[in-house]
Amino acid sequence: MKISCLSLGLLSTMCWLYLTPTTGNKIFQFGPCMISMNVNEIRASFTAIKATIQAKDAVRTISILKDIISLKSADRCCIIHHLLRFYVDKVFKHCETEDSHVNRKISSIANSFLFIKKKFRQCTWVPFCSFQIAIIIYQIFLSIYFQLNTASAAMKSLGELDILLDWMEKAH
């Protein structure tokens, strides 16, 4: 009797844990790096401001992030590490608008990227990124970015965030 009660209690606890809403975090594997993040939260913030940000994109003939979708799994860790660092260090700093709601959403996305970037530091493999194709694609990204003026490039990079999020989720 004690065993069946214990089993029933354990089963009930497992069901409760399974059905209880989580924080929305998912584990993403980028090459050898496994990172827990909430892409839905980032996507929701981006979706709320997407039309406003993309309307500010004056250069619609080029895409900054178009080449990342060709990367294979081993290269993803390296490029994601570089892109997160770049977005935190360069892009978000130049994406201020007149709309405080949009600025709060940009700040929320920036904080999420910073959090993910910190998790990447825990992956001991990242500093040894040496995949040639990832480095070439990152350099292409940089060359396109720096051909534009700072504000335009930042808005374009932020406006293309859905490309990055889709690619990250595809890796999941």
Yes or no: say if 106 and 92 are a contact pair by the CB < 8 Å rule.
Answer: yes
pLDDT exceeds 70 at position 131: no
Q: How far apart are CA 168 and CA 30, in angstroms?
A: 8
Q: What is the pLDDT averaged over residues 156-166?
A: 91
Give the residue among 84, 87, 88 at the shortest CA–CA distance from 123.
Answer: 84
109 class by beta-carbon count within 10 Å (0-12 exposed, 13-18 middle, 19+ buried) = buried
Q: What is the pLDDT of residues 41-70, one digit of tens each?
A: 999 999 999 999 999 888 888 888 888 777
Least confident window among 53-57, 58-62, 121-125, 167-171: 121-125
At position 46, the amino acid (one-letter code) is: F
pLDDT exceeds 80 at position 146: yes
Convert 135-163 into a string of H (helix), E (strand) and C (coil): HHHHHHHHHHHHHCCHHHHHHHHHHCHHH
52 class by beta-carbon count within 10 Å (0-12 exposed, 13-18 middle, 19+ buried) = middle
Yes or no: say if 33 and 77 are a contact pair by the CB < 8 Å rule.
Answer: yes
* Percent over 90 (pLDDT), the chain: 33
Q: How far apart are CA 159 and CA 60, in angstroms?
A: 10
Of residues 88 and 125, more confidently modeled: 88
Q: What is the pLDDT of residues 1-48, one digit of tens each?
A: 555 544 444 334 333 333 333 456 777 777 677 778 888 999 999 999
Mind listing the domains of the chain with CATH numbers? 23-171 (1.20.1250.10)
